[in-house]
């Protein structure tokens, strides 16, 4: 069925007669807004990303305005979305387009593909939706539809799988209506051919779907790699002196780069409450050059799962009786100043639940 000339026509007929999925960027032709929506939706659910997309479009209606804005302002607007490398790439690419292309988004696949943070999927989406060029998109929804309809068991995350699915997706693509086709197959995967409890009886390919005919819907698509997550233990010391809190910007090439954090004591295992005073005193004396503090509060253990890491830890609030040495790289920030800073979700959640910024 891979060469079936009726695949695209059936899909497009379903799209024009039955597809009622609403998206604020659906039918959008501005490559800047398409790019923005695609970057936000990488690793982000539509219902979460929508509010961010609307805020970004309101704050930066053109790519030139985004390019001129400060990194701190853009990161603050991105706060809570996670995967902050996406945001840094967004800033870099906006500046590059503003400088190299005078603010006009390039309109050929090769140039779009070379922009930082843009892979084959995003380049295909921009070129097909903005310029109606014949490039098939391959997101999770598309992998799922194709693997089920054609009964493909090749792992979608393997090198061979990616090559095979890319070739097949471009064979199936409607060359006359690539933008409509791409939107249709993504919507079919999102609304009908869902990961769990798919609505097979409403699918335009129900009579021919290999997965449905062979009772293999729940097994497809196949993923070969099993993700191994690194476990890390972050214990944040919220050091208070006067009306200020000691904060620094993360500069290392690690998670949360360019975001802010309190004093970090990373340990190789969970930090037990028993003996915490002694352990913290020794660490503060060595790392922060002070033992002049008292512990005021210890939070429960909290956890955040990232793609490749699991972060667990506590927040320990201490009251300092003298200032920290300036050479340590931390700045004392007021409560109002903290509200303007971009923090990773791990910290931001504690700030919200503890009422610290109220």
Catalytic residue positions, numbered: 38
* CA–CA gap between residue 168 and residue 153 (Å, rounded): 14
Measured between alpha carbons, how far is 19 from 62 in angstroms, rounded to an integer?
30
Give the integer Cα–Cα distance in Å for 351 and 155.
42
Count of H-run helices and E-run strands, the chain = 15, 8
- Asked if residue 237 lies in contact with residue 265, where contact means CB atoms within 8 angstroms, the answer is yes
Cα separation, 91 vs 76, whole angstroms:
13
Strand, helix or coil at 125?
Answer: helix
Let me know the angle formed at the C-alpha of 120 by 228 and 17, rounded to the nearest 5 degrees: 105
What number of CA atoms fall less than 13 Å from residue 347's CA on the CB side? 25
Per-position b or e across 208-228, b if 16+ CB within 10 A of its CB:
bbbbbeeebbeebbbeeeeee
CA angle at residue 168 from 207 to 209, to 5 degrees? 15
Place of tokens 């923005």: 36
Q: What is the CA radius of gyration of the chain?
A: 25
Report the alpha-carbon distance of residue 251 to residue 71 in Å, rounded.
14
Check: CB of residue 344 under 8 Å from CB of residue 256.
yes
Contacts 24+ apart (CB under 8 A), 226-232: 227/307, 227/308, 228/308, 229/305, 229/306, 229/308, 229/309, 229/310, 230/308, 230/309, 230/310, 231/309, 231/310, 231/312, 232/266, 232/309, 232/310, 232/311, 232/312
What is the distance between the alpha carbons of residues 23 and 58, in angstroms, rounded to a whole number? 17
């Amino acid at each position: 069925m891979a060469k079936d000339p009726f695949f695209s026509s059936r899909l497009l007929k379903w799209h024009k007669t039955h597809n009622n999925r609403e998206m604020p960027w659906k039918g959008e032709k501005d490559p800047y807004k398409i790019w923005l929506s695609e970057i936000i939706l990488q690793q982000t659910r539509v219902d979460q990303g929508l509010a961010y997309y609307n805020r970004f479009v309101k704050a930066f209606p053109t790519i030139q305005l985004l390019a001129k804005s400060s990194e701190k302002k853009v990161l603050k607007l991105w706060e809570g979305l996670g995967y902050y490398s996406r945001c840094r790439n967004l800033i870099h690419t906006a500046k590059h387009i503003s400088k190299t292309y005078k603010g006009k988004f390039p309109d050929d696949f090769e140039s779009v593909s070379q922009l930082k943070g843009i892979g084959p999927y995003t380049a295909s989406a921009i070129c097909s939706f903005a310029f109606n060029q014949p490039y098939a998109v391959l997101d999770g929804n598309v992998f799922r539809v194709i693997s089920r309809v054609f009964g493909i068991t090749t792992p979608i995350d393997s090198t061979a799988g990616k090559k095979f699915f890319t070739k097949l997706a471009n064979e199936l693509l409607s060359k006359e209506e690539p933008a409509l086709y791409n939107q249709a197959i993504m919507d079919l995967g999102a609304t009908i051919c869902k990961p769990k409890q798919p609505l097979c009886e409403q699918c335009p390919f129900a009579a021919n779907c290999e997965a449905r005919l062979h009772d293999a819907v729940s097994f497809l698509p196949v993923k070969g790699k099993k993700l191994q997550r690194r476990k890390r233990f972050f214990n944040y010391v919220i050091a208070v002196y006067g009306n200020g809190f000691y904060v620094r910007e993360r500069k290392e090439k690690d998670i949360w780069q360019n975001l802010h954090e309190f004093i970090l004591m990373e340990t190789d295992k969970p930090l037990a409450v028993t003996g915490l005073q002694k352990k913290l005193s020794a660490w503060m004396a060595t790392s922060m050059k002070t033992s002049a503090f008292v512990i005021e509060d210890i939070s429960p253990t909290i956890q955040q799962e990232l793609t490749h890491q699991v972060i667990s830890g506590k927040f320990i609030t201490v009251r300092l009786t003298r200032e920290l040495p300036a050479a340590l790289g931390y700045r004392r920030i007021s409560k109002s100043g903290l509200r303007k800073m971009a923090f990773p979700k791990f910290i931001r959640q504690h700030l919200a639940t503890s009422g610290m910024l109220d």
